[in-house]
Amino acid sequence: MQLRTLIECEVPRARCEEHGVKQLPVAWAEANARFTALFEALVIGWLKEASISAVAQMLGLSWDEVAGIQQRAVKRGLARRRKQPLEHIGVDETSFQKRHEYVTVILDRKHDVVLDVLDDRKAQTLEQWFRGRPAHHLASLKTLTMDMWDPFILAVRNCIPDADAKICFDRFHVAQHFGKALDKVRAQEHRGLLSAEGLSPLTGTKYEWQRNASHLDNRSRRDFMALSRLNLKTARAWRIKEAAAQSWDYSYRASAEKGWKSLLGWISRCRLEAVKKVGRMLRRYLWGVLNAITARVSNAMLEAKNSRIQWVKKMACGFRNRQRFRMAILFHLGGLDLMPKSLRNSAFTPI
């Protein structure tokens, strides 16, 4: 009749000579839970779409009660998750707070789920995570995508057999380095032209240089293409950036290595210090770039997950500690079975 109904039930207890007094399980609630399984399922469904504070306000609960339901759901999901041999994983950092506070996100690229979130981006932390898995799970690893962060490389080399043949450096991070170098060259040349001549053809063109010309119909931006043919340092850096983007299209390692070494030779002669710095970095890590080209892999899935993680952080208006942050990421992106045990095989759908 749509009237508020309160049902009180005293959960039975049993006395055991060996274990003492124990509370008996009931079909409608988890052990030691303050809420029924159906109500927890309702809260879990709402938490998928709203923050803890919003759900608490809508249901008349405290923040701690809703957070406790989320925490128990993640704990159930992690306990039910089967540890499987790793085949294709991605490792990347994402911001936790301002002032260069980061956590490390580990993604199973084969199943598109976040495996874990580590407290920092140190080699010791990642190595400890690898050591916590069975040796045969690590031996089955085929590719591991990451950026060129030395602590990650060190941790993988210490734990993964034949690591240098499996580490693949992400093309989007490489492109990001070229983009930053190009923008630095443009800014320096733009300031120089303004101080020397009082005007600059580079005014208002910052974002035009960053666009990928191979994915655009350049007939629609003839003014920019005419600018790119001028004898400008920025135009030279832009051509190098575009050549680097095309160098990922090789299919065979030998041809890819020949093409990248030719590009690196051009970079070493370009007389653009910001670009030459990127070239020196790539010479050290060329082996991982070639691995990524031949394996045809990237960290695109993990970058998409990072966007979702930032959405989770924005929805919660930030997190005060890393444990809460990890809990929220695994809740939304861990691919976990979150529902109470009594509802796992039911057709219940939270409203």
- Identify the band that residue 32 occupies on the pLDDT scale cut at 50, 70 and 90: confident
The answer on pLDDT for 349 being more than 60 is no
pLDDT at 97: 81
Q: Look over the chain and give the mean of its residue pLDDT values, rounded to a whole number.
A: 90
The answer to whether the CB of 298 falls within 8 A of the CB of 171 is yes
Mean pLDDT of 310-317: 89
- Identify the band that residue 57 occupies on the pLDDT scale cut at 50, 70 and 90: very high
pLDDT at 114: 95
Mean pLDDT of 126-148: 92
Percentage of residues in the chain having pLDDT higher than 90: 67
pLDDT at 187: 95
- For the chain, the three-class secondary structure string (H helix, E strand, C coil) is CCCCCCCCCCCCEEEECCCEEEECCECCECCCCCCEHHHHHHHHHHHCCCCHHHHHHHHCCCHHHHHHHHHHHHHHHHHHCCCCCCCEEEEEEEEEECCCEEEEEEEECCCCEEEEEECCCCHHHHHHHHHCCCHHHHHCCCEEEECCCHHHHHHHHHHCCCHHHCEEECHHHHHHHHHHHHHHHHHHHHHHHHHHHCCCCCCCCHHHHHCCHHHCCHHHHHHHHHHHCCCCHHHHHHHHHHHHHHHHHCCCHHHHHHHHHHHHHHHHCCCCHHHHHHHHHHHHCHHHHHHHHHHCCCCHHHHHHHHHHHHHHHHCCCCCCHHHHHHHHHHHHCCCCCCCHHHCCCCCCCC
- Identify the band that residue 8 occupies on the pLDDT scale cut at 50, 70 and 90: confident
pLDDT at 278: 96
Mean pLDDT of 155-172: 94
Cα-only R_g, the chain: 27
The answer on pLDDT for 165 being more than 70 is yes
- Specify the higher pLDDT residue, 220 or 286: 286
The answer on pLDDT for 49 being more than 80 is yes
Instruction: Quickly tell me which residue has 């005293």 as its tokens.
Output: 10
- Identify the band that residue 260 occupies on the pLDDT scale cut at 50, 70 and 90: very high
Mean pLDDT of 317-321: 85
What's the predicted TM-score (pTM) here? Answer: 0.85
pLDDT at 268: 96
Mean pLDDT of 224-253: 92
Q: Which residues contact 33 (CB under 8 A, 6 or more apart)?
A: 40, 72
pLDDT at 317: 85
How confident is the model over 211-228, as pLDDT tens digits?
887 777 777 788 888 888
The answer on pLDDT for 146 being more than 90 is yes
- Specify the higher pLDDT residue, 219 or 43: 43
How confident is the model over 334-343, as pLDDT tens digits?
999 999 887 7
Q: How far apart are CA 108 and CA 106, in angstroms?
A: 7
The answer on pLDDT for 350 being more than 70 is no
How confident is the model over 113-128, as pLDDT tens digits?
999 999 999 999 999 9
Mean pLDDT of 302-319: 89
pLDDT at 345: 62
How confident is the model over 89-115, as pLDDT tens digits?
999 999 888 777 899 999 999 999 999
DSSP-derived 3-state class of residue 14: strand
The answer on pLDDT for 178 being more than 70 is yes
pLDDT at 347: 53
